[in-house]
Amino acid sequence: MIDNTTSKPEPTQALADTYRRLVQLERTIGALADATEDAFISWGFQQADAADARDALRTAPSLADTAPLPPNTEPLPDTTVDSLTALTAGLRRELITLSEQVSDPLDQHACLTAALFVGHLNESLR
């Protein structure tokens, strides 16, 4: 017998959680940039891709009630390029999966656009 009692978060909640993670990713890259001598040269494109991903997901109509700057989004501690690469690969997959779960076409577009920018970020970290 299959156990269907395990519940997944509702798509709207998953959108909000993913948005918070994108804000945290952007802040983490900002913290890495702040700790680097040539911050813009070293992290400028990555920081822009993270911000673009966050902004893209923010356009999802289902996030209308989500605060623009969610709480609990401090930069991730002890972050390395390798851990960011793994994190962005996972976020990209989550965004694509989420785009398949939401019903609003504008939410789908926001997820896929954010996934595109996270994919750019992931490639630039390799």
Per-residue pLDDT of 59-88, as tens digits, reads: 999 987 655 555 566 666 677 788 888 989
Q: Show the tokens assigned to 26.
A: 């952007």
Contact 79, 28 (CB under 8 A): yes
CA distance 62 to 13: 9
Mean pLDDT for the stretch of residues 13-37? 87
C-alpha angle 92-55-83 in degrees, rounded to nearest 5:
40
pLDDT-derived band at 55, boundaries 50, 70, 90 = very high
Contact 19, 58 (CB under 8 A): yes
Contact 107, 94 (CB under 8 A): no
Q: What pTM was estimated for this model as a whole?
A: 0.82
Distance of CA 116 to the CA centre of its chain: 11
